[in-house]
Structure 1
Amino acid sequence: MSLIDEILTLKKERNAVILAHNYQRGEVQDIADYTGDSLGLSKKAVEVDADVIVFCGVDFMGESAAILNPDKTVLLPRPEAGCPMADMITPLELQLFKKEHPDAAVVCYVNSSAAIKAESDVCCTSSNSIQVVNSLEEDEVIFVPDQNLANYTQRFTSKKIYPWHGFCPTHHQITAGDVLEAKAKHPGADVIVHPECRKEVIELADGAFSTDGMLKYARATSKDIIVGTEIGMIHRLKKENPGRNFYPISDFVVCPNMKVNTLETVRDSLRDMKTVIKVPEDIRIKAKRALDRMLEVGRGDR
């Protein structure tokens, strides 16, 4: 029996659904039932009739799925797959930051731990951060953990934003020089980047979009596109737009944590029912409140 056949057999036996983030390896994306952004996949898990969710992504994504799906078993094939940005703030640090700005609402990027979500008033995604911030009654906003997304959001609101000093190492490493070099190498191509990028990178691009926004942008144009996000995104863009040219802004925009999953780890996770992600109920309820409040504002995509 082939590895893929093993996975399909185990998936049927477990009544499982496989979710894969857009940054996963191409072969993992191809075996998944649904591919997308972290929050969109967690929401999809709520809708599907499955007992087991295999989340091919990083730890905070598995937590989000568990928060929204308390009656389902959520498996993270590689529990060591973490998010450096999510680890850049602790609940205690956020509590102290809140004391410094007592009149500010706390907006938490979904790329964060369940414990940080539980300390926040509302969550946001890279595509709805502006909408979420502008929906708040408060004039001051604490924004955690991504300073780049906070600074991007600040451009579109009159509210005062206090950003935490976290960042995504993968996106933060992209420089203005990378943009200019890619433009010179691929003249005529549009440049789209993620809002987790530095300000000067965003200013040189034709647009800043979430991964879902990038997919929509690609569908709406026939031009070649230089893609300024984790390199795994290229696989899905090419899959959905055959014959089109998509170029990475740099060959080094790779998230190591997003690449640890393989077909073998997906198989092993289903076979051994590992590793189960659990969120303590008191934290889950508070974190879900922040996610629900975001969803009341409008649809969100990472």
Structure 2
Amino acid sequence: MNYKEEILKLKNELDVVLVAHFYQRDEVFELADITGDSLELAKKVMESDKEFVVFCGVGFMGESAKILNPQKRILMPRIACCAMARMIDESYFLENLKKMNEAGISNDDILPITYINSSASVKARVGEMGGMVCTSSNAYKIIEKGLKSGKKIFFVPDRCLGQNFAKSLGLKSAVIGDGSNLKEADIICYNGFCSVHQQFNIDDIDFYREKYPGIIVAVHPECDPAVCDKADFVGSTSQLIKFIKELPIDQKVVVGTEFNMVNRLREKNTYILSSTKPECPTMNETTLEHVYNTLKSIKDNKISELTEIKVDEKTRYWAKIALERMFEV
């Protein structure tokens, strides 16, 4: 079967929009009606008048789209789980609050901020405590807004993102569980990380700078702080794309982020900051066959509960508040 042809036929027949994150496989990405990073996709879905959204990404992205678009039916060909998002759930969130309490910090003095790479239930907990969601592109503004409350920021789940933004703002950070002094920190980070961005290290940077004098090093802020400190440019997925595409074509650049995205940026003078292939395993779970099967299930009115995203109303309510606070900033 030619899945590409069948997908295009079904898209024309059905009241559906196909969306795909930048990290998706090329063959899936190229068939999407809407592409972008996680927040862009959730917001663009709001602008679509289609009843069905077939979302090619990971679970928390589909949940964000459902939270913001409760009237739409959000289907995911594969409800793959982001490894970072899976590192924290409600119980771990509460357990870490308790550790801060034990360090002499009361909940009244804590403002939680969650990276969008988190479950709907974690976003809801953050919303209930007066906190906000952030992305890698707007975290500066969100953290600055949060600090005006006079409270300590509890940043979940990515420690690297929290540490990097704290450093850039001239603030003290601490990671729960690593022995650092929580009470002295302005930003207290949950001990989570992105498995893909942990692959990049400063030895890789030294290697490329020695091999290609004048090369530019551009990395994502989910990388280790030592890597970000040594890079020439640090930016979110969208910011990296914009920065690299505006470089002269003869300017060599080495990039520290997910392979699929970097691979389609430029035809020449673009390198991956790793000796191994930094490919997100969960983002790559979605295949054309999965997309076809999901579209076919819509046509046949046989949608599987295993593909449809649902969020209970209480969770959706508080998670939406956390997201809306971000939009206000």
Normalised-by-shorter TM-score class: over 0.9
Map Cα deviations across residues 175-234 of structure 1 (whole Å, 9 max, x no partner): 111222233343322111010000111111111111100111023321222110010112
1:168 aligns with 2:174: no
Shift of 1:49: 1.6
Structure 1 residue ranges (4+ consecutive) displaced by more than 6 angstroms after TM superposition: none
Give the 5 Å matches for 1:50-65.
50-65=50-65
Please point out which of 133, 145, 149 is paired with 2:157. Answer: 145
**Structure 1 pair 233–92 and aligned structure 2 pair: CA distance change class (3 A):** same
Partners of 1:295 and 1:236 lie apart in 2 by 30
Letter in 2 for 1:127: S
Output the CA distance in 2 between the equivalents of 1:35 and 1:28: 10
What are the within-5 Å matches in structure 2 for residues 1-302 of structure 1? 2-79=2-79, 81-99=80-98, 100=101, 101=105, 102=107, 103-120=109-126, 121-136=131-146, 137-157=149-169, 158=171, 160-222=186-248, 223-238=251-266, 243-250=267-274, 251-272=276-297, 273-274=303-304, 275-297=307-329
Identify the range of structure 1 (175-184 vs 19-28) with the bigger mean alpha-carbon deviation. Answer: 175-184
TM-score, normalisation: structure 2: 0.85
**Aligned partner of residue 35 in structure 1, secondary structure:** strand
Contact 1:104 1:138 in 2 (8 A): no
Q: Which residue of 2 aligns with 1:300?
A: none
Amino acid paired to 1:30 = E
Matching residue's letter, 2:256:
G
Q: CA RMSD in A?
A: 1.6
- Aligned residue pairs, count: 292
**Could you state the TM-score of these two structures normalised by the residue count of structure 1?**
0.92
Q: Provide the rounded CA distance (Å) in 2 between the counterparts of 1:69 and 1:178.
A: 42
Q: Percent identity?
A: 43
- Report the structure number with the largest CA radius of gyration: 2
Q: Distance in 2 between matches of 1:186 and 1:34?
A: 36
Structure 1 unmatched runs, 5+: 298-302
Inter-partner Cα distance in structure 2 for 1:285 and 1:62:
16
CA contact (8 A) 2:245 2:265 kept: no
Deviations 1:127-158 (A, max 9, x none): 11111010122331000000000001111334
Bigger relative CO (Cα 8 Å, ≥ 6 apart)? 1
- 1:85 is paired with a residue of what secondary structure? helix
**TM-fit CA distance, 1:125:** 0.5
Of stretches 12-21 and 109-118 in structure 1, the one that deviates more from structure 2 is 12-21
